[in-house]
Structure 1
Amino acid sequence: MKILHTADLHLGRQFFGLSLEADHAEILDQIVSATAANDVDLLVVAGDVFDRAAPPESAVKQFNAFLRRVVAETDAAIVMIAGNHDSSGRIAAMSILSDPDRALIRGGAEAVERPLLLKDAFGEVAISALPFSYEYAAREAFEDEGISSPEDVLRAQVAAARAEVPEGARWVVVAHAFVDGGAGSEGERPLTRVGGIETVAASVFDGVDYVALGHLHRPQQVGAAHIRYSGSPLAFGFDEAGAQKSMLLLELNGQGVAAIEAIPFTVTRGVRELRGTLGELIAGEGSNDFIRAVLTDQTPLIEPMKRLREVFPNACQIVLAREERASEVKALGGQVSAMSPIEMVGSFLETVRGNGLDEGETTVIAAALHAVKTKEGAQ
């Protein structure tokens, strides 16, 4: 059985105020093409279909057109869950007219977690869809006032799902969570209130053959090779500049996961950071990429963003290197209490000139500090 794992589409999102509708259209087209070209049996969308609970009408139309194409152009079944950015009611409503033998669409936690059952040459595969749920909603669904964290929620969901898996069936779980050991990025919204613990242990998924996760935007495995984030198809912050985005194609045999392959997405507009003087950047080759420019000019600039956008029309952010460095020096003040005087000087020089103390400088500073200490002791 072939499964295509995707997540975190965030339809309707903007990048620093710039529309991503055309970029999302490219991505959705590539998902449909990969599903058809690889004879995929199951397409997974592991949450955060939309970027907010009330997405723009254009995003809803875009996703509905995507689903129609998957149904018309492929034979794949679809499993989809709500993520923390989605409205659980909106996602759940999509299941009303769907074919129960070909689709499992889940918006909120339920006490009975019945799977979608598919068959291949090796027998049955049970796919459990566990949507993101806040604690208060899970307490009501499971009638358990002891649920107080995202891990409690997911443990209750997994236990309910496990009870519905047929004897001998291989088991795939689709979930939206922050699993211990995962690497986050600036584009993700916390899953719990300030001060709460949002991570869950990988052991929650013991006994599952493959875990298709959503929420973290970087493609990665956590805890074990069969527990995976596909990552988001698009970068949503400059901390992901240059990252290769992908969807995961996996194949199940009779024992479980036989192979996992990353299918890269191609994008018209990438995310990049450029560093140099304004003159150097605008003299270079232009592009439509989203640009964060770190300008190294030491003198004031006139309308730098306007001039930058003549070459890079999707420039989003300008950072002045001198201010960035000053900010780093200021931040250093919070660390000095834990440093020796020599370490403090070395760290300061590392920040402002790019390298710390050499042997000769260390000797001079050590001698000066010794002289000061000796003088203080004599008073």
Structure 2
Amino acid sequence: MKIIHTADWHLGKRLNGHSFLDDQRHVLAQFVEQMVLEQPDLIIIAGDIYDKAHPNKSVVTVFEEMVQTLNLEMSIPIVIINGNHDSKERLGYGASWFNHSQLYIRTTLSSFFEPIVFDDIAIYTLPFFTVSEARVFLESDVKTYEQAIKSFVELIKPQLDLQKKNLLVGHFTLNGAPKSDSERDLTIGTIESVSSTYLACFDGVLLGHIHHPFAIDYDHIFYSGSLLQYSFSEVKQAKGYRTIEFVDGQMKQTFKPLKSQHELEVVKGKYEDIMNGHFERKSDESYFHFKLTEMQHVTEPMQKLKQLYPNTLALTPEVFVISDEQRHTGEIKQLEPLEIIDSFYQMHTEQSLSDIQREQLEKLISEQRGM
């Protein structure tokens, strides 16, 4: 049996005001093409279908079209759980009716105790939950995510059929898994990571939430990673899906990359060099985060950069830089207070100070110096 493991689609995701929806349509079209070639027996989506609990109509339409293609037209069974970005009520609406086409949408904790069985494989779904929800359901005073997971697993152990391959599908953080800027914390004020020791009773664990597909190194526990690079902290991460198969009783997995329409790139350099095109990049159409020096006196730098590189999404002035000459002489450039304020203002607003703002600040600085 061939299983496709994917997660963290984050449909409707925006970065610095820019919508990824066209990029998501592009990569999902690739995903469909790959499914035609793969001919899987099952697709598992381990949470975070949407980026927000209440996606707009165009975002929901993208997901519905994907489900129609994969589940109805290609007749591939699909198992879906909610992630911490999804609304359980919205995602789970009509779930009992969808079961008839083998579209299994699991959003309740009680569903964990009702495995979905395909031949000799039993799939246990553990949708995202909060610690408070776990307390109510378990009627136990669990205080951490790890304690909750441990309790759920202890309850399910007697039910596991050892004649089958038992898979857990979940959406949580495993100990040691590094997070990126686009991953929202699962819990507030409590430890959220889980030890792998509590998952040893399962033959395979397929997870969502962490966007890096190689965030952990286990023989039977895997993150699929996100569908696309969703923050500049993910620029070096591969994106794609996994194939899972059991060969001679052993779990075999392969990561299959997908190519994005636009890659994220972080570029460091001098402002003039960038404006003259003197820097390495994969494409002028990439989504750029520029970290630039020698731009203290440039007005409206973001607008000027976007004229040349329209997909510029972020600009950070790098002002406290020591040149080679300064290193040799031991001298460090001392910026004037107004230059420091202007750089800070640009960093957070992507605009330079106006003439009026400069005039007011100069007056204030002069008054302070005269005190």
**TM-score class, shorter:** 0.7 to 0.9
The residue type equivalent to 1:55 in the other structure is: P
Q: How far apart in 2 are the matches of 1:99 and 1:23?
A: 30
Mapped pair 1:292 → 2:289: yes
Mapped pair 1:309 → 2:300: no
Q: How far apart in 1 are the matches of 2:247 and 2:185?
A: 36
TM-score normalized by structure 2? 0.81
Secondary structure at 2:95 match in 1: coil
Cα distance 1:223–1:157, how it changes in 2: closer, same or farther (>3 A)? farther
Deviation, 1:90, is 1.7
Cα distance 1:210–1:275, how it changes in 2: closer, same or farther (>3 A)? same
Tell me the equivalent position of 2:124: 128
Q: How far apart in 2 are the matches of 1:112 and 1:293?
A: 46
Q: How far apart in 1 are the matches of 2:324 and 2:31?
A: 44
Q: How far apart in 2 are the matches of 1:166 and 1:48?
A: 29
Mapped pair 1:65 → 2:65: yes
Q: How far apart in 2 are the matches of 1:354 and 1:193?
A: 45
Mapped pair 1:274 → 2:274: no
Percent identical pairs in the alignment equals 27
CA contact (8 A) 2:121 2:164 kept: yes
The residue type equivalent to 1:239 in the other structure is: S
Cα distance 1:303–1:74, how it changes in 2: closer, same or farther (>3 A)? same
Q: How far apart in 1 are the matches of 2:74 and 2:16?
A: 35
Alignment of 1:47-196 (within 5 A): 47-99=47-99, 102-110=102-110, 113-119=113-119, 124-142=120-138, 144-194=139-189, 196=190
CA contact (8 A) 1:84 1:191 kept: yes
CA contact (8 A) 2:44 2:80 kept: yes
The residue type equivalent to 2:79 in the other structure is: V
Alignment of 1:168-247 (within 5 A): 168-194=163-189, 196-220=190-214, 222=216, 224-247=218-241
Deviation, 1:44, is 0.9
Tell me the equivalent position of 1:322: 319
TM-score normalized by structure 1? 0.80
Mapped pair 1:256 → 2:253: no
Deviation, 1:353, is 5.6
The residue type equivalent to 1:263 in the other structure is: K
Deviation, 1:254, is 4.3
Alignment of 1:318-357 (within 5 A): 318-323=315-320, 325=321, 352=322
The residue type equivalent to 1:207 in the other structure is: C
Secondary structure at 2:60 match in 1: helix
CA-to-aligned-CA distance 1:76-131 (integer Å, 9 cap, x gap) = 21111011111111222241221357232111212762111112xxxx10011110
Tell me the equivalent position of 1:6: 6
Secondary structure at 2:219 match in 1: strand
CA contact (8 A) 2:224 2:241 kept: yes
Cα distance 1:212–1:47, how it changes in 2: closer, same or farther (>3 A)? same
Aligned-pair RMSD on alpha carbons? 2.4
CA contact (8 A) 1:83 1:176 kept: yes
Deviation, 1:161, is 4.0
Q: How far apart in 1 are the matches of 2:143 and 2:310?
A: 47
Runs of 5+ unmatched residues, structure 2: 331-371
Deviation, 1:182, is 0.7
Q: How far apart in 2 are the matches of 1:268 and 1:187?
A: 19
Q: How far apart in 2 are the matches of 1:298 and 1:305?
A: 11
Secondary structure at 1:235 match in 2: coil
CA-to-aligned-CA distance 1:134-158 (integer Å, 9 cap, x gap) = 112122222x222221112222333
Deviation, 1:318, is 1.0
Secondary structure at 1:117 match in 2: strand
Q: How far apart in 2 are the matches of 1:112 and 1:187?
A: 28
CA contact (8 A) 2:124 2:168 kept: yes
CA contact (8 A) 2:208 2:225 kept: yes
Cα distance 1:270–1:5, how it changes in 2: closer, same or farther (>3 A)? same
The residue type equivalent to 1:230 in the other structure is: S
CA contact (8 A) 2:168 2:206 kept: yes
Cα distance 1:111–1:76, how it changes in 2: closer, same or farther (>3 A)? closer
Secondary structure at 1:287 match in 2: coil
Q: How far apart in 2 are the matches of 1:17 and 1:140?
A: 38
Tell me the equivalent position of 1:343: none
- Give the number of aligned pairs: 325
Q: How far apart in 2 are the matches of 1:134 and 1:9?
A: 21
Secondary structure at 2:98 match in 1: coil
Cα distance 1:166–1:354, how it changes in 2: closer, same or farther (>3 A)? farther
